[in-house]
Amino acid sequence: MLAGPDRPNHTSSAATLGNYGSFMKTRRYRLSVTFLCQLLVLLLVPFAAQAQSGAAPTHIAAELVAGPTAAPGGETTIAIHMKPEAGWHGYWSNPGDAGFGMQLDWTLPEGAKAGAPRYPVPQTLVVSGLMNHVFEHDYALLVPVTLPANAAPGSRLPIRLAAQWLACTEQICVPERAELAVEVPVGGIGAKTASEDPRFTEWTRRLPAPLDAAGTFAIDAKAVRIAIPLPATTPLEGPHIFVGEDKLVDYGAAQTFAWNGNQLIVTIPRAKLDPQTTGTLTGVLRLNAAGDGIAFTAKPGSVPTGGTPIGASSEGSAAPSLAPLPLLLLAALAGGLLLNVMPCVFPILSLKALSLARAGESESHARIEGLAYTAGVVLACLALGGVLLALRAGGQEVGWAFQLQEPLVVVALLLLAATITANLLGLFELTVPGFVSGGSPSSFTRGAFVTGLLAAFVATPCTGPFMASAMGAALLLPVLPAMALFAALGLGIALPFLAVAFIPALRKRMPRPGKWMVTFRRWLALPMGLTALALAWLTWKVGGPWFTGLALLALVLVLAALFVMGRTQRKGGSARPAASVAVLVAALALIVLPQPAPPSASVNSLLDVKPFSEKALAEARASGKPVFVWMTADWCLTCKVNEEVAIERADTKAAFDKAGVVVLRGDWTRRDPEITRYLTAQGAAGVPLYMWYGRDGKAVQLPQVLTPELLANAAGG
């Protein structure tokens, strides 16, 4: 029998039964009750075959089709054409988590030899959380057959095949068999071969193209990593790897793809139960949803790390298509501009308002400050983007706003926000960054530049309209176009200030500097103080009580040093010693504070929420119910506004309960590689992200600003 390239040509019924028994033993803990029943049926295949000898299959029809003529001793091809009924499917050579590949028992003329069958690129099918490799439409296995050297030219050689296979729907499986026969014409030596059936052209096209160079693979305790030599210009849309070796990888887990030069780097988690090793790895890379693919072989060796991610696939979803670069640049610019009015940016409006107030001092100062502020914003966006791309190239699963996923960065922002609040309240004076305090034009310029740096650092964690698609594309594009998008984002954030700096009509509308600025300065301490409180809450969320307690102790010491600094300034003394103490305490706090463990995944929600995972999503979609995927983070103010306004509501819960919606919540407050891969696959660089999967399985990305009506309509539809 032939079920793969490593199986002998003939296998007895007893051996076949042993294969099925081994198959059942391997997967007995992974399969649902339905599939256990299916496997029980499989054990009866050999005996059913004897009782049904010659019976025609019911649900998948099969026929043998002769291919091109061949000379004596030459090679021809025979097709095993399979035609499933609607709703039924057959299996690839490695069926995945459930099912069984075809068993072939050839009866050939003396001197003839049948090779391993070549399968077309299969499809993925998830049933009850199990990933299967199937064919749901007509398909053909092409088998090379070498003719006897003594075959008479012009004769026709009889070929017989006893084939067994499994025909399944999503609810039931039925073992089937057939006795097939065909006559292969023998051509003359040196005669031109000709195909006997025009269907061979299409069947051959559906086969994965063999790769002419071998790749390498490496296996560790958690994953199988494969390097496939492939030009980086190869278009990939929803790629997926079908591994030929059984019990090696977790079929239903997410697969990650990245370009490293002209190598495609693929990472697949290992099988959860009874993982195997292998000396040679074979597989098929599906290139797109149309079923184009490449067959490859890999040998043990080194696999490069890092690379440029190109999206992930666990069940054949198409990778996001990218808009032209000019449109992406406009989207980044518009997204940065809208960040000025997004809720997540409100805490830094105090710094911007004071800068605008000073713009009326002189035309030259206004323009210099506008350019300095813009330089700071753009430089901060480029720096954040550069670090982000470098981390991803190094193999890190990070996305936009990665800095706020680090507890120590949150503490640094807490200390900074508290320091700015103290400055606005007049606890101490600081001419640089020169938020309000007097100073020379050069100090104002430095202040505007530093304010721009801070504005971008605090403003960019949240994504808004237009910005989501641009930042998502930046994670998939080469370095130079990606950096151009980050620069466009920064320019968009700074655009209102550039307009005020260079348009006299706008500057004339700005109030002139005066004593009112002192009062205004005190009032602006309120939003910045609220920001500090929000960061203290976030420190608690990401670090827990002990971590927060140490951070607050450091904050008290810093404020005490600043208080001493202010008193010294008012007495005319040098503030440098106290300032040095404040900086030293802050630096020591960031060095000494331990990295806290990730917080618990539990969440209090009005909805019936389940934690997000690729497996949970696959199971939810396979259930036939609508699915709402809700990606959030505690540091994302836009997320919290949406939750308060649209998600955590009684009417939303009622609509979801009525429609039987499965709600999956992904918490991206701390770094989570699985959530990052999902965001990248959807073309999103960060949160919020809301995905709706209808009963038909169709995925729709919802807007980043939600309304109760939108969610209710989605559930009702």
Residue 5: the pLDDT is 35
Q: Which helix (H) or strand (E) holds 701?
A: strand 699-701
Residue 229: the pLDDT is 92
Residue 532: the pLDDT is 85
Residue 343: the pLDDT is 47
Residue 22: the pLDDT is 37
Residue 588 has pLDDT above 60, yes or no: yes
Question: Which residues on adjacent β-strands are paired with residue 664?
Answer: 610, 629
pLDDT tens-digit readout, 439-488: 455 555 777 788 788 778 766 655 556 676 677 777 767 788 889 999 99
Q: Average pLDDT, stretch 593-612?
A: 77
**How many other CB atoms are there within 10 angstroms of residue 74's CB atom?**
18
Nearest in space to 433 (alpha carbons), one of 372, 386, 367: 372
Residue 627 has pLDDT above 90, yes or no: yes
Q: Average pLDDT, stretch 565-573?
A: 83
Cβ within 8 Å of residue 677, ≥6 positions away = 254, 256, 312, 397, 614
Residue 157: the pLDDT is 93
Where are the alpha helices (H) located in 628-682, listed in sequence order?
A: 637-642, 650-659, 673-681
Residue 109: the pLDDT is 93
Residue 462: the pLDDT is 57
As a whole number, the mean pLDDT across the chain is 79
Residue 578: the pLDDT is 78
Q: Average pLDDT, stretch 153-178?
A: 90
Residue 4: the pLDDT is 35
Residue 432: the pLDDT is 43
Residue 31: the pLDDT is 41
Residues 227, 306: Cα–Cα separation, whole Å: 12
pLDDT band at 261 (very low <50, low <70, confident <90, very high): confident
Q: Where is average pLDDT lowest: 38-47, 408-417, 525-534?
A: 38-47
Residue 318: the pLDDT is 41
pLDDT band at 581 (very low <50, low <70, confident <90, very high): confident
Residue 349: the pLDDT is 54
Q: Average pLDDT, stretch 131-151?
A: 93
Q: How is the chain split among helix, strand and coil, in percent rounded to 5? A: 40, 20, 35
pLDDT band at 647 (very low <50, low <70, confident <90, very high): very high
Task: Give yes or no for a contact between 270 and 249, defined as CB atoms under 8 angstroms apart.
Answer: yes
Distance, first Cα to last Cα, the chain: 50
pLDDT band at 378 (very low <50, low <70, confident <90, very high): very high
No. of helices (H) and no. of strands (E), the chain:
19, 24
pLDDT tens-digit readout, 272-293: 777 777 889 999 999 887 889 9
Residue 1 has pLDDT above 60, yes or no: no
Q: Average pLDDT, stretch 343-359?
A: 55
Residue 34: the pLDDT is 39
What φ, ψ does residue 651 adopt, rounded to 5°?
-70, -35
Residue 23: the pLDDT is 37
Q: Which of 116-120, 251-255, 304-308, 450-454 has the highest mean pLDDT?
A: 116-120
Q: Regarding predicted confidence, which is higher, 435 or 86?
A: 86
Q: Which helix (H) or strand (E) holds 191?
A: none
Residue 333 has pLDDT above 80, yes or no: yes
Angle, helices 325-338/479-502, rounded to nearest 10 degrees: 50
Q: Average pLDDT, stretch 99-106?
A: 90
Q: Which of 253-257, 397-401, 650-654 has the highest mean pLDDT?
A: 650-654
pLDDT band at 659 (very low <50, low <70, confident <90, very high): very high
% of the chain beyond a pLDDT of 90 = 28
pLDDT band at 167 (very low <50, low <70, confident <90, very high): very high
Write the DSSP assignment of 393-457 as a string of letters.
HTT----TTGGGGSHHHHHHHHHHHHHHHHHHTTSS---SS-SSS---HHHHHHHHHHHHHHHHH
Residue 100: the pLDDT is 82
Residue 19 has pLDDT above 60, yes or no: no
Q: Average pLDDT, stretch 26-37?
A: 40
Q: Average pLDDT, stretch 28-55?
A: 42
Residue 321 has pLDDT above 50, yes or no: yes
Residue 222 has pLDDT above 60, yes or no: yes
Residues 672, 667: Cα–Cα separation, whole Å: 8
Q: Average pLDDT, stretch 202-226?
A: 91
